[in-house]
């Protein structure tokens, strides 16, 4: 494994369109510079509370523009995108299963994350129900019953809560949010700066 | 004059860092594609009220990040930037003088806008006082007393109010905000999409 490569911390909410767009680009970016990416799903709800903000699409004026921007930016980047009918959604089930998988198999956890994002934002299918999350994990070879048990497991819930608290403590307030060598970058829009930062050692 | 070139509407607040960054790039972008830019200073205050939002730097967590991003993005784009000690500021005086000049001489109004932005964001000098705005206009050959009279003129105040109302009616809610052939783009981050939109006729 490549565990001694320097890390890019990649924070995202499974309900975040710009998190999804970044998720399709970040591993290739890291590979170009011999970095590895630590995927860290978080929940935006507690962060919106801390920052006193709201989901973009709930904001007057900004809301309608945002959906237009999700669609247009995905076309600009040539990434498949469908605005989900259910939006935004609670993503604690997907995030719990991610960390549960991650403790055993980081590669599979990442495949699971990509599959969740693809199901929600490329196919437009609501991934908030535990049953749907179990379907996605089952296609990667997991037992449905074990996945459903993990979702309800107090230790797994606690694990996710700790991850969200740790992210908040690092100043994470949005999705995607990347930290590279101590430098924070917010937004899919900042991947160009992330890459330049790595190339130049900071600017 | 090139008045029959198709237009890029460029909305901005003189207190907006990303508006400033975009202002240093938009005319060159337009020239590459035989477009002209209509500069339209607006006031973000009424827009924040309409959208229920607040200046970035007043938002917990986002605030400290934002200042870091203003500085880093300006370095990334190689645009001189100083975070002003007075920030954000009221910009109605600068905006009134802009429209007052614009009715006589669009080129001079644009020079004035560039000078205001440079004074505030490259030199870090507060441009909210009428006296400071008069200084800037005076360096472009205007009579200080005439500038100060314009700032206090009810007709000029009304002119700016109408511009802000018209912008709100078009859905403008931030700075910079550009409209190209009916398509809205919010943010300095979107200049790449603005350019691609013009090149391809929409995507």
Q: Do B193 and A50 touch (CB under 8 A)?
A: no
- Amino acid A47: pLDDT: 85
Which residue carries 């398509």 as its tokens?
Answer: B183
Residue A52 CA to residue B177 CA, distance in Å, equals 24
Nearest-Cα distance to chain A for B135, in Å, is 35
- Amino acid A110: pLDDT: 98
CA distances from A4 to A194, B119, B202 (A): 20, 47, 44
Task: Select the residue from A59, A72, A172, A193 to test the B interface by mutation, using most B Cβ atoms within 10 A.
Answer: A72
- Amino acid A49: pLDDT: 83
Average pLDDT (B4-9) is 92
Average pLDDT (A144-149) is 98
pLDDT one-digit tens code per residue, B49-64:
887 777 888 888 888 9
Among A59, A65, A189, beta carbon nearest to B52:
A59
Residue A190 CA to residue A194 CA, distance in Å, equals 6
pLDDT one-digit tens code per residue, A27-36:
999 999 999 9
**Would you say residue A84 has pLDDT above 90?**
yes
**Would you say residue B70 has pLDDT above 60?**
yes
Cβ-based neighbour number of residue B4 at 10 Å: 7
Under the banding of pLDDT at 50, 70 and 90, the label for residue A50 is confident
Which residue carries 């956890």 as its tokens?
Answer: A109
Under the banding of pLDDT at 50, 70 and 90, the label for residue A168 is very high
State whether residue B139 sits within 8 Å of chain A by CB.
no
Can you read off the two tokens belonging to residue A82?
């469908």
**Would you say residue B2 has pLDDT above 80?**
no
Nearest-Cα distance to chain A for B192, in Å, is 9
Please give the order of strands across the beta sheet that includes A177-180.
A36-41, A7-12, A177-180, A183-186
Q: Do B173 and A75 touch (CB under 8 A)?
A: no
pLDDT one-digit tens code per residue, B35-51:
999 999 999 998 888 87
Nearest-Cα distance to chain A for B186, in Å, is 9
CB pairs under 8 A between A and B: 65
Q: Please state the pTM of the whole predicted model.
A: 0.95
Q: Do A60 and B51 touch (CB under 8 A)?
A: yes
Average pLDDT (A165-191) is 96
The per-residue pLDDT of chain A, averaged, comes to 95
Nearest-Cα distance to chain A for B146, in Å, is 38
Which residues on chain B are in Cβ contact (under 8 Å) with A174? 62
Q: Which comes out higher in pLDDT, residue B171 or A4?
A: B171
Instruction: Spell out the long-range contacts of A63-67 with Cβ–Cβ below 8 A and sequence spacing 24 or more.
Output: A64/B171, A65/B171, A65/B173, A65/B184, A65/B186
- Amino acid A3: pLDDT: 65
- Amino acid A167: pLDDT: 96
- Amino acid B146: pLDDT: 98
State whether residue B49 sits within 8 Å of chain A by CB.
no
State whether residue B182 sits within 8 Å of chain A by CB.
no
Task: Select the residue from B44, B67, B72 to test the A interface by mutation, using most A Cβ atoms within 10 A.
Answer: B72
**Would you say residue B184 has pLDDT above 60?**
yes
Q: Which comes out higher in pLDDT, residue B95 or B3?
A: B95
Stretch among B49-63, B80-94, B168-182 having the lowest mean pLDDT: B49-63
Q: Do B171 and A50 touch (CB under 8 A)?
A: no
- Amino acid B50: pLDDT: 80
**Would you say residue B66 has pLDDT above 60?**
yes
pLDDT one-digit tens code per residue, A127-136:
999 999 999 9
Average pLDDT (B2-12) is 88
pLDDT one-digit tens code per residue, B93-111:
999 999 999 999 999 999 9
Among B51, B65, B76, beta carbon nearest to A186:
B65
State whether residue A182 sits within 8 Å of chain B by CB.
no
Cβ atoms A1, A65 nearer than 8 A: no
The per-residue pLDDT of chain B, averaged, comes to 95
């Amino acid at each position: 494994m490549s565990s001694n490569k320097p890390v890019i911390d990649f924070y995202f909410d499974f309900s975040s369109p710009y998190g999804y767009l970044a998720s399709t680009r970040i591993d290739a970016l890291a590979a170009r510079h011999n970095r590895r990416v630590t995927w860290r799903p978080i929940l935006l709800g507690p962060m919106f509370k801390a920052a006193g903000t709201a989901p973009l699409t709930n904001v007057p004026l900004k809301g309608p523009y945002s959906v237009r921007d999700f669609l247009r930016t995905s076309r600009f980047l040539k990434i498949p995108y469908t605005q989900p009918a259910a939006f935004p959604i609670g993503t604690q089930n997907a995030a719990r299963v991610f960390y549960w998988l991650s403790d055993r198999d980081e590669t599979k956890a990442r495949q699971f994350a990509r599959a969740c994002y693809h199901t929600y934002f490329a196919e437009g299918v609501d991934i908030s129900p535990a049953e749907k999350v179990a379907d996605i994990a089952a296609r990667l070879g997991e037992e449905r019953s074990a996945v459903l048990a993990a979702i309800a497991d107090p230790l797994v819930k606690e694990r996710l809560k700790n991850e969200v608290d740790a992210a908040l403590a690092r100043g994470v307030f949005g999705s995607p949010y990347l930290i590279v060598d101590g430098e924070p970058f917010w937004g899919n829009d900042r991947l160009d700066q992330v890459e330049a930062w790595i190339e130049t050692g900071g600017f």
